[in-house]
């Protein structure tokens, strides 16, 4: 149905990150109910991501790598994806433990190997690159992964590729987080040179943000667990049980757009009543523009 200059997106990605689940529903830091937050997020995903083609989870699924935490993630998110008829791309973060994550989520590969994967949806290729380094919180990737990535990116599907990696290859705002950055930018730039990677989706920083790496847009999903408050007085870092979010990435042949969606409900009102939206839908394209865009004389 024509509403404007652009058709509906060719591929839609629902992207969430940093769920930081704990076994037994334990509160993170004794305060934050990350399990309840993911339950709310899952309910809102069913509505906001109704047209999504894939669900991306970009790491720090568990806070302590406990098997039970991954089972919670599976039990809350797999029914959403199954209900929408879409696959889930799981990516490991620095808080994850590969063997437990792989086993609970039934991910292929050897127990300790990087959780790398590739799928294609609607002509768009999604490549998950495991940027976690066992035993460390900073990120990177090895030569074997680089060779694998170069092979995956050797040809280009119609919509190109989107790379998913927990650690964003960007300069980080806070000094302490710079210690936990992605340390193999040079190697990554060499692999991506000439490849048709149209965006990089990351998490890790617990903020909404964006930037560029080798002229490729980097889009961060804010966490569903807690957010980093950049206005908290330094040198401490301050997590807040507020502003949790997930992203919707719309991919067109010639454009990419992203929207930040609140992960938790807030008081709301209908800024456009349903009756008005339904009446607009019933009009012709020209009438629609006149009804909804024209200012009163
Ligand atoms: Fe995190
Ligand atoms: Fe992280």
The pLDDT tens digits for 120-156 are 999 999 999 999 999 999 999 999 999 999 999 999 9
CA of 226 to the centre of ligand 1 (A): 9
Looking at the CA of 237, name the nearest ligand.
Answer: 1
Residue 2 pLDDT > 90, yes or no?
no
Look at the chain and report how many structural domains it folds into: 2
Residue 285 belongs to some domain of the structure: yes
Identify whether residues 216 and 294 lie together within a single domain. Answer: no
Residue 246 and residue 284 in one domain: no
Averaged pLDDT, 237-266:
97
Q: What is the mean pLDDT of the chain?
A: 96
* 148 plus 239 within the same structural domain: yes
Distance CA 184, CA 202 (A): 15
Query: 274: exposed, middle or buried (C-beta count within 10 Å: 0-12, 13-18, 19+)?
Result: exposed
Lowest-confidence pick of 8-12, 21-25, 54-58, 65-69: 8-12
Q: What is the pLDDT of residue 225?
A: 98
220 alpha carbon – ligand 2 mean position (Å): 12
Residues 106 and 178 in one domain: yes
pTM score of the predicted model = 0.96
- Shared domain check, 285 and 245: no
E strands, 105-186, in order = 117-121, 124-128, 161-164
Give domain status of residue 216, yes or no.
Answer: yes
Residue 33 lies in a domain: yes
67: number of Cβ within 10 Å: 14
Residues 156-188: pLDDT tens digits? Answer: 999 999 999 999 999 999 999 999 999 999 999
Say how many Å lie between the CA of residue 93 and the centre of ligand 2: 5
How remote is the CA of residue 206 from the centroid of ligand 1, in Å?
6
Going from the Cα of 171 to the center of ligand 1, the distance in angstroms, rounded, reads 17
pLDDT of residue 218: 98
Are 260 and 292 part of one and the same domain? no
Distance from Cα 133 to the centre of ligand 2, integer Å: 11
Alpha carbon of 30 to ligand 2 centroid (Å): 19
d(CA 74, CA 104): 8
Same domain for 123 and 100, yes or no, is: yes
Tokens 């456009």 label which residue?
A: 272
Residue 62 DSSP label = B
**106/220 same-domain check:** yes
Residues 95 and 146 placed together within one structural domain of the fold: yes
Looking at the CA of 136, name the nearest ligand: 2
CB contact burial 165-198 (16+ within 10 A = b; e otherwise): bbbbbbebebeebeebbbbbeebbeebbeebebb
Q: What is the pLDDT of residues 215-225, one digit of tens each?
A: 999 999 999 99
Report the separation in Å between the CA atom of 110 and the middle of ligand 2, taken as the mean of its atom positions: 22
Tokens coding 143:
């030569």
Provide mean pLDDT across the span 16-42. 98
| Residues of the domain holding 178 | 11-266
Residue 1: pLDDT over 60 = no
CATH of the domain at 61: 3.60.21.10
Which residues hold their Cβ within 5 A of ligand 1, which is an ion? Answer: 18, 60
């Amino acid at each position: 149905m024509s509403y404007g200059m652009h058709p509906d997106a060719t591929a839609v990605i629902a992207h969430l990150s940093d769920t930081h689940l704990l076994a037994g529903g334990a509160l993170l830091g004794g305060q934050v109910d990350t399990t309840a937050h993911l339950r709310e997020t899952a309910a809102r995903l069913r509505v906001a991501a109704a047209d999504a083609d894939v669900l991306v989870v970009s790491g720090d699924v568990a806070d302590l790598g406990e098997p039970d935490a991954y089972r919670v993630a599976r039990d809350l998110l797999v029914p959403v994806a199954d209900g929408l008829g879409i696959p889930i791309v799981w990516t490991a973060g620095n808080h994850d433990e590969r063997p437990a994550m792989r086993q609970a989520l039934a991910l292929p590969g050897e127990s300790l190997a990087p959780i790398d994967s590739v799928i294609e949806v609607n002509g768009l290729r999604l490549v998950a690159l495991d940027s976690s380094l066992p035993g460390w919180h900073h990120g990177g990737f090895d030569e074997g992964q680089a060779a694998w990535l170069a092979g995956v990116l050797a040809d280009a599907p119609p919509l190109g590729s989107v790379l998913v990696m927990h650690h964003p290859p960007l300069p980080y705002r806070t000094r302490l987080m710079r210690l936990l950055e992605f340390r193999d930018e040079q190697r990554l730039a060499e692999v991506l040179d000439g490849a048709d990677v149209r965006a990089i989706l990351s998490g890790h920083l617990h903020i909404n943000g964006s930037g560029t790496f080798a002229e490729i847009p980097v889009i961060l999903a804010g966490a569903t667990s807690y957010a980093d408050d950049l206005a908290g007085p330094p040198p401490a870092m301050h997590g807040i049980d507020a502003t949790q979010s997930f992203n919707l990435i719309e991919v067109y042949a010639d454009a990419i757009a992203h929207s930040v969606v609140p992960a938790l409900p807030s008081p709301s009102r209908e800024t456009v009543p349903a009756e008005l939206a339904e009446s607009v839908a019933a009009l012709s394209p020209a009438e629609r523009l006149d009804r909804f865009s024209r200012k009163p004389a």
